[in-house]
Amino acid sequence: MLTLHDPTILTSFADAESSSPSPRKISLTDASRIIYTSRQLPHPRGGKNYGLPTLCDFSEARIGTVQKDSGPFVQPCIYRAPEVIFEMPWGTAVDIWGVAGVIWTLFEGQHLFGDVIFDPITGHHDPFRHLARMVAVIGEFPSPEFVRRSEMTRQCFDEGGNWIAHAEASIPDNISLETLERRLTGTEKELFLDFMRAMLKWMPEERSTAGELLGHEFLG
């Protein structure tokens, strides 16, 4: 999370919600659940900026290199790694995937896989939509070895890693990591995309480590 040097950010947010409440709807699958439209926080004023990032949620930390029975909810769905979605054993590489998502959000101003990963009717996370978007953004299908690591992968991919869940979601053919990145040009864009690709790998062990990322030319 980011610390705030401008306390008016929160008071302005509360005032805006009070004077003009966010649109909302009742969930079709759970009448006791109300879904609210997101409201963006205002930017700091008076020459101030956001403060330093603060590490939090240590109660959710896991000790050890491999986790096998922590359930599918170890990451926010917008930053969820593919091995977590498929309930495979996971380790520190999920944090590298999450870092890629956070960097993209901060740098591009939108989530890497977009709001399309949520069901438009229920508002719930839709893993089929999410995985279809992953294929488009990563630019390739998962390897047969990745598919063999969980029986759940067979809902989406055949033994060769090809997409088979056409009834649930279609792989968008008009997006890629290159087309989604709109702030940079030339060599700087190439380096940034290479930096992102180093973290966005289907196979966890193929993702760069934190130390390797620190030595990437994009940060040089």
The catalytic residue positions are 6
Residue 96 host element (H or E): helix 93-108
C-alpha span between 147 and 159 (Å, rounded): 7
Place of tokens 């196979």: 203
C-alpha span between 78 and 90 (Å, rounded): 17
Give the three-class secondary structure for 98. Answer: helix
Considering only the C-alpha atoms of the chain, give the largest distance between any 2 of them, rounded to a whole number of Å: 57
Closest CA to 158 of 146, 169, 168, 174: 146
